[in-house]
Amino acid sequence: MRVKELYLKYKKLKENAGTHSPSISTLISSIPEIEIDIDACFLSNPYATKLFFEYFKKDLVVTEKIYSTLEYYPSQNSVIAEDISRTIGIDSKQIFVCNGAIEGIQAVLHNVINGKLSIPIPTFSSYYEFCKSNLTPYYYQTSKEEDYCLNLRSYQKFIDENEINNVLIINPSNPVGSYLSLNEIGNFIEFNKSLDSIIIDESFIHFSYESKNLDMCSVHNLINKYDNLVIVKSMSKDFGIAGLRAGYVLMNRKRVASLLEHGYLWNVSGLTEYFFKLLQNVDFRNEYEDVRKEYLLDSFDYIEALNKIKKIKIINTKANFVLIEILNGKDSEEVTLDLLFRYGVYVRSCSDKIGLTGQYIRVAARSKEENLKIVSAFKEYFQ
Amino acid sequence: MRVKELYLKYKKLKENAGTHSPSISTLISSIPEIEIDIDACFLSNPYATKLFFEYFKKDLVVTEKIYSTLEYYPSQNSVIAEDISRTIGIDSKQIFVCNGAIEGIQAVLHNVINGKLSIPIPTFSSYYEFCKSNLTPYYYQTSKEEDYCLNLRSYQKFIDENEINNVLIINPSNPVGSYLSLNEIGNFIEFNKSLDSIIIDESFIHFSYESKNLDMCSVHNLINKYDNLVIVKSMSKDFGIAGLRAGYVLMNRKRVASLLEHGYLWNVSGLTEYFFKLLQNVDFRNEYEDVRKEYLLDSFDYIEALNKIKKIKIINTKANFVLIEILNGKDSEEVTLDLLFRYGVYVRSCSDKIGLTGQYIRVAARSKEENLKIVSAFKEYFQ
């Protein structure tokens, strides 16, 4: 009875939240009866949050520099781009600083590209929701038989047949987590170098790897070779700082200059500017690399444990989450609410994701301790 | 000799900073020899910063809630609009939450209005810099003889003659500080109710007053009466929190919905969301009202003292700054650098402001103590 009431309250909330899950703070403030123990919707490395917070405390709170950080205007976009440039070694004039990657996606879709945009589905919905009259989304359906992994040969055919001028690849993809190697992506970019734009969204790339020592992968280094390349990078997931709003887009100088000519003057906060300065700190970067690998190793154990649970199918992933097909006959919304109300585990129902056939939820990798709790809840629930 | 070197360094920096003054942090990090004692470019109430910081410390730092504020995604635009709605009593569907008023200005100029935009000059330069091909700025020159105060009768003639469909009034104006009464503005809006848009930028309105007890003024309450009204509101100046990035735009429901349909999903940080929640706190609002009035009273003394200094002319103001005409024969850039290098007082040269005839600087009202130092520097320098 009580669960049913909660269910109705949640449903109403979700209707009002629009196209994305209601945030945890909205959820808690709207339905105080809910006890969320673990937010497994939230795709971030909690060890990195902890690391960032240590520096933040030491650098800004203890020194009270936080005062001036909140009081004064941050630097302008082009100045913060220089901070990022010093970290990633790419010319600052090719860096568009964003208030979260989502601002970069919006800026590119509204101002940089025109015509057609091919979007492999399922996908991060903003890529089609943000399309205005200047841009028509062309949905490329990945195949359930191939676990929704993007088949580049078939995607190429789709691009050619539909005379697409702008293409999107999220690598690793969201909500699937499937990964294309740098080699595959590199060949794809080379083949399509005459298109207007190739958008590679690497928001989750810090969780992907090709070598045994789990080194980071990226197509960052191709930005100077291909004028049509647009690389989107979020900081929210890998650094666990979504509340800060930080991201960037790499693209050719003309495109960056054109965006800055008519806007985006002071578009990130003083704290985000602090973060991009912190990224230049070698100690921080080394410690980050440690917690990145620690998180990955914990995720491997987690996914292995999830893989053993019956009545669910784990889709192969190189991101910090897994897409799970539910095979116990229940629908994904019901499973989501059951897990929330019975175990305090908040997972992402994928019922609103276009391009998925079947019942799916997306579950984040969290800390080792939380992962164990999620696995234990799943075991009990699905047995 | 040393001053000359600093002068050259500053000049180079300003060239790179684009159209706005280099921020104080850029300035300090680029020219460490400069000792800025007082940033009189920065148009904010320092007492309000202090007040905000007390709450911030108590609510977020001591409790360590700052951790989750930085870690988790903030709520979506429409949810934060509800927080603001509860404070200002306007329907949340008429509130577009912005990452600083400047984001709102950009959103309106790029997406909401089209055709012609009349802009009284001198003005805040983003209003014409952000105009893209969809919008042509029409500059209305205010008169030096009238101290650049906007003459509404003459402005109306300009609007009619040029068949303007969108008009802008910044009230009080920037960089002049001249104020039009609610009555005058109200009549102007009523007369122009058939235009496509009337933008009233009230970013500095908390420093204006009509009654002896210095109560706040605003045209907020007209938003339900006029469908074409667009009210821009910054939080950076009155609350002294520019580093946070917070603002909003009030406009009709259709316009807000159209902006949110294709973007602006998570466009403010967790800290900005905290600020808008704090605004609902009656204690905070009452204390804010006290420091707002305290700041105003201090400003009156300050302006009175500045008025007594020879070789400068103080333009009448109802904002938290004064536009000052320099009458000692020097140009405004030179005066700015002299004040910076000799007294550590950083003022805003207005040499780049279109529409001003003569040499002008803009000087902010700061704390009582800082105001005294500014006055003392001015006295010594201009005598």
Q: Nearest Cα to B218, choosing from B278, B173, B171? A: B171
pLDDT value at position A10? Answer: 78
Helix (H, G, I), strand (E, B) or coil at B22: coil
CB contact under 8 A, B242 and A72: yes
Which pLDDT band holds residue B246 (cuts at 50, 70, 90)? very high
Nearest to A266 among B46, B75, B245 (CB): B245
**Is the link from the previous residue into A175 a cis peptide, with omega within 30 of 0?**
yes
Residue B1 predicted with pLDDT over 60:
no
pLDDT given at position B8: 81
Arithmetic mean of pLDDT over chain B: 95
Residues in chain A: 383
Judge whether B240 and B52 are in contact, CB under 8 Å: yes
8 Å CB contact between A190 and A196: no
Task: Give the helix/strand (H/E) hosting B51.
Answer: helix B46-56
User: Of the ranges A48-62, A355-369, B103-117, B332-346, which one carries the lowest mean pLDDT score?
Assistant: B332-346
DSSP character at residue A239: S
Which residues share a beta bridge with B137?
B117
CB contact under 8 A, A70 and B244: yes
DSSP 3-state assignment of A43? coil
> A366 to chain B: which residues are within 8 Å by CB?
none
Whether the per-residue pLDDT at B21 is higher than 70: the answer is no
Contacts of A110 in chain B (CB under 8 A): 110, 262-263
Residue in chain B lying closest to A22 (CA):
B75
- B327: Cβ contacts below 8 Å, ≥ 6 apart: B311, B312, B313
Predicted confidence at residue B18, as pLDDT, reads: 62
Element (H, E) at A240: none
Question: Do the Cβ atoms of A49 and B61 come within 8 Å?
Answer: no
Q: Which residues of chain A have pLDDT under 50?
A: 1
Residues of A in contact with B130 (CB under 8 A): 262-263
Phi, psi at A323, each rounded to 5°: -85, 130
Query: B287 φ, ψ to 5°?
Result: -65, -35
Residue A62 buriedness (CB in 10 A; 0-12 / 13-18 / 19+)? exposed
- In the structure, what pLDDT confidence band is assigned to residue B260 with cuts at 50, 70 and 90? very high
Contact A129, A280 (CB under 8 A): no
Interchain contact, B73 vs A49, CB within 8 Å: no
Q: Is residue B49 less than 8 Å (CB to CB) from chain A?
A: yes
Measured CA angle at A146 (ends A142, A147), to 5 deg: 80
Q: Do A71 and B24 touch (CB under 8 A)?
A: no
Residue A167 near residue A117 (C-beta atoms within 8 A): yes
> What's the half-sphere exposure (Cβ side, CA atoms, 13 Å) at A115?
14
Contacts of A129 in chain B (CB under 8 A): 261-262
Residue pair B124/B131 in contact by the 8 Å Cβ criterion: no
Q: At A130, is the secondary structure helix, strand, or coil?
A: coil
- Strand A95-98: give its sheet, edge to edge: A95-98, A247-250, A229-234, A197-201, A166-170, A115-121, A135-141
Residues 6+ apart with CB under 8 A from A21: A14, A41, A348, A349
> Looking at chain B from residue 237 to 296, which residues have their Cβ under 8 Å from any Cβ of chain A?
240-245, 261-273
Q: By the 8 A CB rule, do B381 and B343 touch?
A: yes
Burial call B42-68: b when 16+ CB within 10 Å, e when fewer: bbbbbbbbebbbebbbebbeeeeebbb
Q: Is A102 on the interface with B (CB under 8 A)?
A: yes
Nearest to A106 among B241, B245, B263 (CB): B263
- Place B29 in a pLDDT band, splitting at 50, 70 and 90: confident
pTM score: 0.94
CB B362 within 8 A of CB B350: yes
| Residue B72 clears pLDDT 70, i.e. is over it | yes
Answer whether B249's CB lies under 8 Å from B197's CB.
no
Instruction: Tell whether A53 is within 8 A of chain B (Cβ).
Output: yes
Q: Does A84 touch chain B (CB under 8 A)?
A: no
Residues 123..152 of A with a Cβ closer than 8 Å to B: which?
126, 129-132
Q: Which two tokens stand for residue A195?
A: 């298109």
A23·B72 Cβ contact <8 A: yes
pLDDT band at B26 (very low <50, low <70, confident <90, very high): confident
- Number of Cα atoms under 13 Å in the Cβ half of residue A310: 2
Residue A18's pLDDT is: 62
Structure ipTM: 0.94
pLDDT confidence of residue B311: 95
Torsion of CA A290, A293, A298, A299, to 10 degrees: 140
Of B31-35, B40-44, B222-226, highest mean pLDDT: B222-226
| Pair type for strands A95-98 and A348-349 | unpaired
| d(C-alpha B149, C-alpha B175), whole Å | 11
Q: Whole-angstrom Cα distance, residue B21 to residue A147?
A: 53
Q: Please give the single-letter amino acid code of residue B83.
A: D
What is the largest distance, in Å, between two alpha-carbon atoms of chain A?
61
Dump pLDDT digits (tens) for B210-241: 999 999 999 999 999 999 999 999 999 999 99
Please give the torsion angle defined by the CA atoms of residues A60, A66, A72 and A75, in that order, rounded to the nearest 10 degrees.
Answer: 30
CB contact under 8 A, A23 and B267: no
From the number of C-beta atoms within 10 Å of its C-beta (0-12, 13-18, 19+), residue A351 rates as middle
Distance CA A349, CA B95 (A): 30
Report the run of H or E that residue B322 belongs to, with start and end: strand B321-326
pLDDT digits (tens, 9 = 90+) for A119-145: 999 999 999 999 999 999 999 999 999
Which residues in A lie closer than 8 A to residue B99 (C-beta atoms)?
99, 245, 267, 269
- With an 8 Å Cβ cutoff, is A72 touching chain B? yes
Check residue A26 and give its pLDDT.
72
* CA pair distance A333, B166, nearest whole angstrom: 47
pLDDT at B170: 98
Determine contact: B158 vs chain A, CB below 8 A.
no
* Degrees to nearest 5, angle at CA B191 with B185 and B192: 90
**Residue A318: its pLDDT value, please?**
97
CA-nearest of B100, B101, B102, B97 to B84 is B97
Residue A79 · residue A356 · CB < 8 Å: no
- The answer to whether B323 and B177 have CB atoms below 8 angstroms apart is yes
Asked if A24 and B72 come within 8 Å (Cβ–Cβ), the reply is: yes
Query: pLDDT at position B20, please?
Result: 66
Q: Do A17 and B76 touch (CB under 8 A)?
A: yes
Instruction: Tell me the pairing of strands A135-141 and A166-170.
Output: unpaired
Note whether B129 contacts A262, CB cutoff 8 Å.
yes
Give the number of beta-carbon pairs within 8 Å between A and B: 177
**A235: three-class secondary structure by DSSP:** coil
d(CA A261, CA B104): 16
Most distant CA atoms of chain B, gap in Å: 61
**Which strands form B115-121's sheet, in the order they lie side by side?**
B95-98, B247-250, B229-234, B197-201, B166-170, B115-121, B135-141
Q: Give residue-wise pLDDT tens across range B281-320.
A: 999 999 999 999 999 999 999 999 999 999 999 999 999 9
Segment B182-215, tens digit of pLDDT: 999 999 999 999 999 999 999 999 999 999 999 9
Does B13 lie at the interface with A, CB-CB under 8 angstroms? no
Question: Is the Cβ of B99 closer than 8 Å to some Cβ of chain A?
Answer: yes
A79 touches chain B (CB under 8 A): yes
Scanning A280-321, the segments in alpha helix (DSSP H) are 282-307
d(CA B128, CA B120): 11
